[in-house]
Structure 1
Amino acid sequence: LGLPVSLSVPLIGLVGRLADQKGWDLIADLLPRWLRQEEAQWVILGTGDSEFQKMLEMHAADCPNKIAVRLTFSDELAHKIEAGSDIFLMPSRYEPCGLNQLYSLKYGTVPVVRSTGGLADTIRDASEENLQAGQANGFSFDAYDVFELEEALRRACALYRTDKPRWERLVVTGMSQDWSWDASASHYERLYESMIARKRPTTG
């Protein structure tokens, strides 16, 4: 996509509709500041609100070494971005399920998400406690607020830059998790068996 390659600079990927529901009002607030001040690159794929499309075209023209934009949709390119980014950003206002965070986990790309709906169900924040327990697989924030988004993104970028062993463990944890229907079916099977066992009459 034409960005210069630097292993010390995190690449932040976004794929999907350019709409408020996907958090683009927050991103529109955050992005100009990050392009001016932060050592990070952005790659963005999607279509949607004309306001956001025009904003992205302007940023791509002004900062060609920091942001690459494709205002279209390609399933092949979407998966390349999910696989090739270091961080995958999903600051959704609401997200009933969400699949892109699961794709990014399998590709070894660390999600930064707003903790809502399916994103809250699948992403364990990289707090100190969760990192030490080996349970963290991404970064999350609670309030739909640009300051919380920025804080979560800063934490992710800081860990990427300053603690590669921990970052690699975070990546491995995400890649090793099983979100398939086989795992869900096995979980529900065990749940039903335990419920049936509790209801069986006891003999005296």
Structure 2
Amino acid sequence: MRILFVAAEASPIAKVGGMGDVVGALPKVLRKLGHDVRIIMPYYGFLPDKVDIPTEPVWWGDAMFQKFAVYETVLPETDVPLYLFGHPCFSGRSVYGGDDEYWRFTFFANGAAEFAWNYWKPQIIHCHDWHTGMIPVWMSDSPDVSTVFTIHNLAYQGPGREMLEQITWCPWHMQGDNAMAAGLQFANLVNTVSPTYAEQIKTPEYGENLHGLLSWISGKTRGIINGIDTEKYNPATDRLIAQNFTPKTIEKRRLNKVRLQEESGLEINRNAFLIGMVTRLVEQKGIDLVLQTLERFLAYTDAQLIILGTGDRFYETQLWEISARYRGRISVQLLHNETISRRVYSGIDAFLMPSRFEPCGISQMLAMRYGAIPIVRKTGGLVDTVPFFDPANEQGLGYCFDRYEPLDLYTCMIRAYEGFRFKGAWEKLQVRAMSQNFSWYRSSVEYIKMYREVIGEAPELTDKEQKIIDQKVK
């Protein structure tokens, strides 16, 4: 199959959220399974620092009364062709933001459609979030090109209908109050990044005012769990962590904890219960619950906390002030750093993720891959990836709570703290978490079935595909 991914992000060169992880990992796996998968994304001003880009474009196009260039390179450390949409409006050093954000990404979507019509014609265009919402509308007049639309974050829905009609081409038959709604209605199939979230967004609590539409199109909606790059994120070979380890050598992991404490300014105590967060500091991630709970939890226990991330200035300030009052017990690193994140995953005892909503979540899977036990709220993809830990029957993978309330989070954290005191049982839980298969090869099976469904082919895997997947997920 010929598949074109159109997205605002692609890891490792431009990553802000989970979309970047998906777009940077899934095409690589699909190509290994024999499919011609390519990516087109904006040519941000910082990309020459991260990838070699030819000086001459492979194609020139016109959209929204603007001329643009398309440059061809490859996604780093892969064989995935990467097309970069070049225009001065994307020359800044950030992915999102600015007063012209709606115009910029609508222009990009329009240019990507022109690229697919006139330069490289795929069978399927895989669109990601509102930035590409208009593409299914335009492609509805091209029966030989099918569209799949993935919801990564329903809260951001793009420009409204009135603005779209002012800046771009809106066919007479177009429906939808904004770019996200239009994409949902006109895509041939819609998928979210977890089965639970696919059901939750049909309700007023999670639907972001689109729950009625999402219920109406539920027949073409799918929920497919994200994966992680198990070759890149492998504690047995990861060069960014202090000590490599495997489920069979879990005792070696303790050195990573001590080293993390040294590097982050925490009191060196291998017996302390060390909790970590690698997250965006925004309301969605439950930071307000953490702020309401943290000091009481520290008063009751000898636990430590390390937080890595950036976000809302209010949350950054509050966490910084608390860390100043609890020196040696709280470390707040207000930055995004891949090396530090790997060291956090490999050194902490538990990973905290009390999200208000979570379409899928990548961090909890990375944490388990490195032997950190999740403490999560039961919502979205966290339900699908972190089954409740039952110590009596030695089942489950993490500590979970239901209500989005400080008391519920506090109780869950205390349960995890008490569980950590039983070292033998805790290590068994770590080994079980590390042994889970969160590979993209597992998730690719469902994506291939969805792609074949959208172009009217039988969904069964070929013998070659099945053989490769069996080798990778054994």
TM-score when normalising by structure 1: 0.86
Give the counterpart of 2:364 among 91, 101, 116: 101
Q: Secondary structure at the match of 1:27?
A: helix
Instruction: Kindly state the Cα deviation for residue 34 of structure 1 after the two structures are TM-superposed.
Output: 2.2
Deviation at 1:35, TM superposition (A): 2.9
Q: Is the CA contact 2:297–2:410 (under 8 Å) kept in the aligned structure 1?
A: no
Alignment of 1:127-142 (within 5 A): 127-128=390-391, 131-132=392-393, 134-142=394-402
- One-letter amino acid of the counterpart of residue 45, structure 1: L
2:278 corresponds to: 15
CA distance in 1, matches of 2:413, 2:293: 10
> 1:10 corresponds to which letter in structure 2?
F
Three-state SS of the structure 1 residue aligned to 2:267 is: coil
Partner of 1:49: 312
Q: How far does residue 110 in structure 1 lie from its aligned partner after superposition?
A: 0.4
- For the 8 Å contact 2:345–2:370, the answer to whether it is kept is yes
Higher helix share: 1
Seen in structure 2, the aligned counterparts of structure 1 residues 165 and 188 have a Cα distance that, compared at 3 Å, is farther
Structure whose alpha-carbon radius of gyration is higher: 2
- Candidates 396, 399, 406, aligned match of 1:146: 406
The runs of 5 or more residues in structure 1 that have no matched partner are 194-204
Question: Whole-Å Cα distance in 1 between the matches of residues 281 and 442 of structure 2?
Answer: 32
- How far apart are residue 181 of structure 1 and its match? 2.3
TM-score (norm 2): 0.38
Moved more, 179-188 or 18-27: 179-188
Does the residue aligned with 1:77 lie in a helix, a strand or coil?
A: helix
Residues 52-201 of structure 1: pairs in structure 2 closer than 5 A: 52-128=315-391, 131-132=392-393, 134-161=394-421, 163-185=422-444
Instruction: Measure the CA separation in 1 of the matches of 2:334 and 2:298.
Output: 19
Measure the CA separation in 2 of the matches of 1:91 and 1:155.
15
| Residue of structure 2 equivalent to 1:28 | 291
What letter matches 1:12 in structure 2?
Answer: I
Looking at structure 2, the residues matched to 151 and 127 of structure 1 have their Cα atoms a distance apart, in angstroms, of 16
Pairwise CA distance, 1:159: 0.7
What value does the CA root-mean-square deviation take over the aligned residues? 1.9
Question: Identity, % of aligned pairs?
Answer: 40
Structure 1: how far apart are the matches of 2:274 and 2:364? Answer: 16
Provide the rounded CA distance (Å) in 2 between the counterparts of 1:67 and 1:174. Answer: 25
One-letter amino acid matched to 2:320: E
For residues 282 and 446 of structure 2, the distance between their equivalents in structure 1, rounded to whole angstroms, comes to 35
Find the aligned partners of 2:446 and 2:359 in 1 and give their Cα distance.
21
Aligned 8 A contact 1:35 1:63 in 2: no
Question: SS state of the match for residue 96, structure 1?
Answer: coil
The SS at the match of 1:47 is coil
- In the alignment, the residues of structure 2 paired with residue 127 and residue 32 of structure 1 have an alpha-carbon distance, to the nearest angstrom, of 28
SS at match of 1:120: helix
Deviations 1:65-95 (A, max 9, x none): 1101111111211121111110100000000
Paired residues, number: 188
The question of whether the paired residues in 1 share the 8 Å contact of 2:349 and 2:372 is answered with: yes
Distance (whole Å) between structure 2 residues aligned to residue 185 and residue 74 of structure 1: 28
Check 1:7–1:93 CA distance in 2 against 1; reply closer, same or farther (3 A cut).
Answer: same
State the structure with bigger RCO (CA 8 A, min sep 6), 1 or 2. 1
